[in-house]
Chains A and B, each alone.
Chain A
Amino acid sequence: MGLLAFCILISGGLFFWRFGPILRTILRSKEDADFSLHPLGRRVWEFFWEVLCQAKVIEQRPAPGIAHAFVFWGFLAFALVSLNHFAAGLRLGFLPPESLVGRFYFDFAAVWAVLVAVSIASLFIRRFFVRPIWLGKKISYESGFISFLIFLLMVTYLGAFFATDGSVTVKALWWTHTLALLIFLPLIPHTKHLHLVLSPLTVFLKRDEFSKIPPLAGDEDFGLVSGKDVTQLIALQTYSCVECGRCTEHCPAATTGKVLNPKEIILGMRSYLNEFGADSDAPLLKEDAPTSHLSMEAAFQCTTCGSCEFQCPVGIQHLPIIVGLRRGATNTGQWEDTYGTKLFLALEKNGNALGLSAVERDKFIAKQGFPIFDGTQEYCLWLGCMGGYDPKGREIIADFARVMDFLGTTFGVLKKEKCTGDPARRLGNDLVFQTLAEHGLKALETAKVQKIVAICPHCVRTISNDWREYGIAPEIEHHSEFMARHKDRLPKQFEGGEIVYHDPCYLGRYRDVYEQPREIVALAGELVEAPRNHERSFCCGAGGGLAFLGEESGERVSHVRAKELADTGAQTVGTACPFCNTMFRDALSAVSEAPPQLYDIAQLTARALPPTKI
């Protein structure tokens, strides 16, 4: 008994020896200024669904997901058994094996022991023999050892059922089981198995909005510049990473040969915290550090498509970190990039991302005969940079205006409209973003706009969510939502052929709008799905301001996606974002001899409309 107590003390001591500093780092990090537990109900639901039910773990990687879920549920079932195991060893047992409850529970746990043993063995085979590349090139021996320990725990537990009471075998099994548990405990904080302790909390506490960029707090906050800027949530999330690599598997940058690897961003942040602790002055980003994934180059390769954050089973929110690093570099002027500077100067001077004179927009409005919004119309049609200045974007806007006319919906456009600031926001330029957001809010308020509709998911997201930092914008919706609501009155085309629909990141993952554009596509032809669709859709490469940053390294993201779309054999590609559209315009002809046609959903609808009366 004395020996057992001693072993428990050593094991617990070793656990806290490592876990203590981690906990201290998390607690001593900066508080999240905008954090609020509300809405609590949603948090409880997500905890139930994602942690207890393991829904995300299973949904996004079914086979290993189920295996993991069995191990997890088995652990929950075993919690009582293990507690009783030690308590009994100290003569404090509370679950007598001979009692009815005890007999039932031990048998119940035995069923789980079998499931856990089989699951952990299959996970072991996956990790060491199948070896999916997402788990990293390096073999993790610690993972192997921990699998072995879990397997051993189950086997020893089950073995005891077949041994005679009081025999040497029972004693040996008992001690093996005990030692396995006591070795397992201190290994938790030393390995990615720390997620056992932290991730339930991480899932419960994660920010309440997808890809949420927190407001800067005070005059000294420029984003993530040094350890001083790392918040408690970021620290908690980085320590929760289980290194499963789902983020990397779906990352458009990591899978096309760029430096950026979202998993390594999180692990890079973790090593920073391990090395410097909380509250350090050491810079987070390194200008040229090939070994460090917290490099300027990596941070600026992100398209902010959000697939990493969406996929993460332990509640890590990558985008506030990546955009935070960009803010730290841009707001302080450390990021020097010819294209980036050109974009910022264009936004400063011309108020649009394309750097064209505002007069060009006036001319386009006059040519189309768009009415200026004067308060009598129902909708303000937000043109956006693409709709106002880009030739293809203008076609989309013109066609959508025809659809609105056909439906008899009145609309007007703002006399002066500047960029929403989306590219500046995602590239971390808070000065330009604030100026543009404030300008936009004021313009909409002055014009007394009540409802906005836009063709660009980036505009929709930025106006509805990001502008909140500076004021409340009128209600805004994407044209897919608008058209889907009126779909019964829109013409159906019977010979539209096969149309493959591409989910824009900012409409799908960011806004949870998947079905409305599909309903519109289905009116225009036969809807075909790309291999990666809905929440797993693969980025076009334009987001996060990257459309303006010139040539990318590695393979072009747009080419990968365009090939996927072309390979479906559909005659038409349907898009719902002018940026996706512009990316695919070149990419489709580059990857296909006979490229499919490319239309926005507004154009698909407009082509079935009766010719406009003049």
Chain B
Amino acid sequence: MKIIVAIKQVPERDAQIQIAANGKWIDEDDLTYAINEPDAYALEEALQFKEKNGGEVIVLCAGPERVTSTLRDALAKGADRAIHIEADDLAQRDTLGVAELLAVAVKAESPDLILTGLQSDDLGLGQTGVVLAELLGIPHATIIMQVEKTDTGLRVKRELEDGWFQHVDMPLPALLTIQSGGNKLRYATLMGIKKAKSKETNTIAAADSSEAAALKLARVYLPEKQKKTVMLTGTPEQIAAQLVEKLKFEVRVI
């Protein structure tokens, strides 16, 4: 069983984000990067799946030179080899553009299973996996907590709302987007890092986008915080009534 895990490198969780001078992206200088959290869970799922059922785990990442550190970490945790799609212009590509990049590399490997995080910590669009499945013409399932192999394919556990889960049987090959927290992540080990040195990383150049991005980024800005205080006036009864109405229809907590 050949499994590809598509991962993304994102700024670290507690990074102090600043907007770049042109206002179109964040300032990337002085940032430290890490693996996108749901992708870390996708990798963990793949590694555990391999440990149970055998096979090969390939990590795939598109981005500039710096993403090789994230790929190396993934190799250290147990992935067998890595594919790096060299692309410096990810921010200019929309989801379809990125998925196209990934699709080229994935097709060349013809894997049985593709895993990816359900969304990215930076943009949070949650579409790349789904679009990639569409481009590959294979079935997909999203927000997956658990993957099991069956005689005919897979049985996956999807997270629904309100504590409900859905179990789905699906054929292979397939693409799954993995939810955070389904497994326990493993820690990187000295042995893993040493082994990673001898593992292969295949670097491929990114193809030019087939067409101009359909989505264009107009402006990036930090959340604008504002504090609005409204004084409720009237008799206690009136104030209480107003408060209830606001809690019900504006804040929607009762």
Interface residues of A (CB under 8 A from B): 216, 219, 222, 330-333, 338, 340-341, 344-345, 348-350, 357-359, 429-432
**A residues less than 8 Å from B184 (CB atoms):** 338, 341
- Structural contact, A431 and B188, CB atoms closer than 8 A: yes
Q: In the complex, which of the residues A219, A333, A357 contacts B14, with contact meaning CB atoms closer than 8 Å?
A: A357
Question: Cβ of B194 < 8 Å from any Cβ of A?
Answer: yes
B191 contacts across to A, CB distance below 8 A:
222, 331-333
Between A and B, 16 residue pairs with Cβ closer than 8 Å are A222-B190, A332-B190, A333-B186, A333-B191, A338-B184, A341-B184, A341-B187, A345-B187, A357-B13, A357-B14, A358-B14, A359-B14, A429-B189, A431-B188, A431-B189, A432-B187
B residues 184-211 near A (Cβ < 8 Å) are 184-194
Expressed in whole angstroms, the Cα–Cα distance for A431 and B194 within the complex equals 10
- Residues of chain A within 8 A of B187, CB atoms compared: 333, 340-341, 344-345, 348, 429, 432
Main secondary structure of the interface of B (DSSP, over half): loop
For residue B16, CB closer than 8 A to chain A, the reply is yes
Chain A: interface secondary structure? helix
In the complex, what distance in Å separates the CA atom of A357 from the CA atom of B34? 14
Q: State which of A332, A345, A359 has its C-beta within 8 Å of the C-beta of B16.
A: A359
A349 touches B12 (CB 8 A): yes
Interface size class of B (residues with CB under 8 A): 10 to 19
The interface residues of chain A lying within 8 Å CB-to-CB of B189 are 330-333, 429, 431
B193 CB contact (under 8 Å) in A338, A340, A358, A431: A431
How many angstroms between the C-alpha atoms of A359 and B16 in the bound complex?
Answer: 8
Quote the shortest CB–CB distance from A348 to chain B (angstroms): 7
Q: How far is the CA of A216 from the CA of B188 in the complex (A)?
A: 17
Contact B190 A341 (CB under 8 A): no
State the Cβ distance, A51 to closest chain B Cβ, in Å.
38
B193: chain A residues within 8 A (beta carbon): 431
Name the CB-closest residue of A to B73: A348
- On whether the beta carbons of A348 and B13 are closer than 8 Å, the reply is no
Q: What is the CB-to-nearest-CB distance from A203 to chain B, in angstroms, rounded to a whole number?
A: 33
Q: Which residues of A contact B34 (CB under 8 A)?
A: 349
Task: Give Cα A357 to B188, complex, Å.
Answer: 20
Contacts of A358 in B (CB 8 A): 14
In the complex, number of A-B residue pairs with CB atoms less than 8 Å apart = 48
| Complex CA–CA separation, A2 to B72 (angstroms) | 74
B195 shortest CB reach to chain A, Å = 10
Q: How far is the CA of A350 from the CA of B187 in the complex (A)?
A: 14
Chain B 130-148 per-residue mask, 1 if CB under 8 angstroms from chain A, else 0: 0000000000000000000
Q: Which residues of A contact B190 (CB under 8 A)?
A: 216, 222, 331-332, 429-431
| Complex Cα gap A466–B184 (Å) | 30
1/0 contact trace for B1-35 toward A, CB 8 Å?
00000000000111010000000000000000010
CA–CA, A350 and B192, complex, Å: 21
**Assembly CA distance A357 to B13 (angstroms):** 8
Q: Which chain B positions have C-beta within 8 A of A348?
A: 187-188
Q: Are B188 and A350 in contact (CB under 8 A)?
A: no
Segment 116-130 of B: residues with Cβ below 8 Å from A: none
Q: Considering residues B16, B185, B191, B192, which has the most beta carbons from chain A within 10 angstroms of its beta carbon?
A: B191
Residues of A within 8 A of B16 (CB): 359
Interfacial chain B residues near A430, Cβ < 8 Å: 190
Q: Which residues of chain B from 145 to 202 have a CB within 8 Å of any chain A CB? A: 184-194
15 further A-B pairs in the complex, CB-CB below 8 A; given A331-B190, A341-B184, A431-B188 = A216-B190, A222-B190, A331-B189, A331-B191, A332-B190, A341-B186, A341-B187, A345-B187, A348-B188, A349-B34, A350-B14, A357-B14, A359-B16, A429-B187, A429-B189
Given A350-B14, A357-B14, CB of A219 within 8 Å of CB of B194: yes
